[in-house]
Amino acid sequence: MNILIVVAHPDDEVLGCGATASLLAAQGLSVRSCILSGQAAARRERPELDELYADMERARSILGLGEPIVGNFPNIKLNTVAHLELVQFIEAAMLETGADVLFTHHPSDLNDDHVQTSRACQAAARLFQRRPDVPALKALYFMEILSCTEWTFGAGGDQFRAETFCEIGEELLQKKLDALACYRGILREYPHPRSKEVVRSLATLRGSQAGIQLAEAFQAPFRLFNPGDFC
Ligand SMILES: [Zn+2]
């Protein structure tokens, strides 16, 4: 099983599904990120490009993920890129990784780069319908990114709905926090939504919704039902 996490920016892969991705990688699955904008421009604290790549590498190493596929599309300006270019970049990443399962942004996120990424990923997800050599997709999941996804208040359409839950436990939550701390300028002081306290609070809330201790939650617009999962 090959997992591809399609996100706009370095750090989104950790915020959205860092603990789940680490869990899947530890189980022997191939888990890689496709990060559309590997540019440092317009990032908080304006890291040098080599610093951003070093941050990305340390976070990847902590989570145990495979090598990321990093694009050079403009940060906070993905709406200036032709939709087709984004789709083709994601399709190429899907072919390179043999992706069976995709994780991406929710399409009603407040951050417009996240919206563009989600739309392009949804278009790319149908690649198996156009290419007989591409295996059928098993699932497409939307993620929630603290400080962005919860700030639409429904204004951009449907809000994120937590409906699929992955139990992560203390160790994986700590890995997620450690990986986030690799990215300079991302974690802030409480009560900012991207503080350690709120990352933990969200995991607690999502866990409680599912009757477990700590969880990351996803919305599944597409999932191939497998009766074997219940046997
Ligand atoms: Zn982002």
Q: CA-CA distance, 228 to 150, in Å (whole number)?
A: 34
| Nearby residues for ligand 1 (ion, Cβ within 5 Å) | 8-9, 12
Q: How far is the CA of 228 from the centre of ligand 1 (A)?
A: 35
Q: Which two tokens stand for residue 121?
A: 């990923």
Query: Which domains are seen in the chain, by residue range?
Result: 2-223 (3.40.50.10320)
Per DSSP, the residues of 12-51 read: HHHHHHHHHHHHHHHTT-EEEEEESB---TT-TT---HHH
Cis check for the bond before 10: say yes or no (omega within 30 of 0): no
Euclidean distance between CA atoms 91 and 124, whole angstroms: 5
Tens-place pLDDT, residues 28-50: 999 999 999 998 777 777 788 89
Amino acid 44: pLDDT = 73
Q: How far apart are the CA of 43 and the centre of ligand 1, in A?
A: 10
Find the 35 Cα to ligand 1 centroid distance in Å. Answer: 10
88-134 pLDDT, tens digit per residue, is 999 999 999 999 999 999 999 999 999 999 999 999 999 999 999 99
Average confidence (pLDDT) over 3-12: 98
Mean pLDDT of 149-172: 89
**pLDDT band at residue 24 under the 50/70/90 scheme:** very high
Tell me what pLDDT residue 156 has.
61
Give the mean pLDDT of the chain.
95
Output the pLDDT for position 207: 98
Token pair of 124, please? 């790319």
Asked whether the predicted pLDDT for residue 166 surpasses 70, the reply is yes
Give 55 Cα–ligand 1 centroid separation in angstroms: 15
Taking residues 187-207, report their average pLDDT.
97
Assign 230 a pLDDT band (cuts: 50, 70, 90): confident
Q: Confidence class of residue 73 from pLDDT cuts 50, 70 and 90?
A: very high
pLDDT, tens digit, for every residue of 61-72?
Answer: 999 999 999 999
